[in-house]
């Protein structure tokens, strides 16, 4: 599959994964083909401010010492104040070796405090996961959480800056991720929804009682 074809297909899949309709508009998009290669410098991950909605990230990464290639992708995502990161969907992942897997690490804040490649100590990470070919459509946040350093973080992720490393130590991979951001529900609106729901339940109960007599 050519890279151009893959990008078009990945973007279409990202849109379908989010909503599927013609009215779907992306929130913030970061596409390495348009916005440039993500930073591979620990001191300066590429900043990316997310917006409410589905934010697509498309890129390629991969390092191979024998081939002399080194493309580590570091993105410092910012979840705006009053918002939360609900999920990170792996829309597509292409590895020339379909049985191989790549690494994703997540850390609070920026700059990146850990290493690259085989030199990842892991102590600074919130958590990590591997990604592989059959995982398209999977939410990565619970997987990252399942490899969390204590204290285990809770989901959804609150507003703030998080740095993510995407890497492969053998081959060049292509990936497409979708970051789902929503406004944090107002406590008042939750209470109001709860009150309406309780009223509806009570009405249904009364109706059942009336009809059963």
CB distance 54 to 85 below 8 Å = no
Contacts of 32 (CB under 8 A, 6+ apart): 38, 58, 59, 60, 73
Segment 66-95, which members bind Ca ion (CB under 5 A)? 71, 73
Residue span binding Ca ion (CB under 5 A) among the ranges 52-60, 84-92, 134-142, 152-160: 52-60
Q: Which residues of 10-47 are buried (b: 16+ CB within 10 A; e: fewer)?
A: bbebbbebbeeeeeeeebbbbbbeeeeebbbebeebbe
Least distance in angstroms from the C-beta of 57 to Ca ion: 11
Least distance in angstroms from the C-beta of 44 to Ca ion: 14
Least distance in angstroms from the C-beta of 39 to Ca ion: 9
CA distance 199 to 120: 54
Tell me if 61 contacts Ca ion by CB under 5 A.
yes
Smaller CB separation from Ca ion, 73 or 168: 73
Smaller CB separation from Ca ion, 87 or 168: 168
Tell me if 59 contacts Ca ion by CB under 5 A.
yes
Which residues of this chain interact with Ca ion, rule CB under 5 A?
Answer: 37-38, 59, 61, 71, 73
């Amino acid at each position: 599959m050519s890279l151009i074809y893959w990008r078009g297909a990945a973007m279409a899949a990202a849109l379908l994964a989010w909503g599927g309709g013609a009215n779907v508009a992306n929130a913030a998009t970061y596409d390495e083909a348009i916005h440039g290669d993500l930073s591979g410098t620990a001191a300066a991950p590429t900043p990316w401010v997310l917006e409410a909605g589905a934010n697509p990230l498309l890129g390629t990464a991969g390092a191979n010492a024998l081939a002399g290639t080194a493309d580590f992708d570091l993105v410092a995502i910012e979840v705006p104040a009053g918002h939360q990161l609900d999920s990170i969907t792996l829309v597509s992942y292409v590895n020339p070796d379909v049985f191989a897997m790549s690494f994703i690490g997540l850390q609070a804040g920026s700059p990146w405090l850990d290493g690259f490649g085989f030199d990842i100590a892991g102590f600074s990470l919130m958590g990590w996961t591997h990604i592989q070919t059959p995982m398209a459509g999977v939410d990565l946040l619970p997987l990252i959480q399942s490899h969390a350093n204590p204290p285990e973080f809770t989901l959804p992720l609150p507003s703030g800056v998080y740095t993510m490393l995407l890497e492969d130590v053998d081959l060049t991979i292509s990936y497409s991720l979708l970051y789902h951001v929503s406004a944090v529900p107002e406590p008042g609106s939750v209470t109001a929804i709860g009150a309406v729901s309780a009223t509806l339940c009570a009405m249904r109960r009364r109706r059942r009682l009336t009809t059963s007599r």
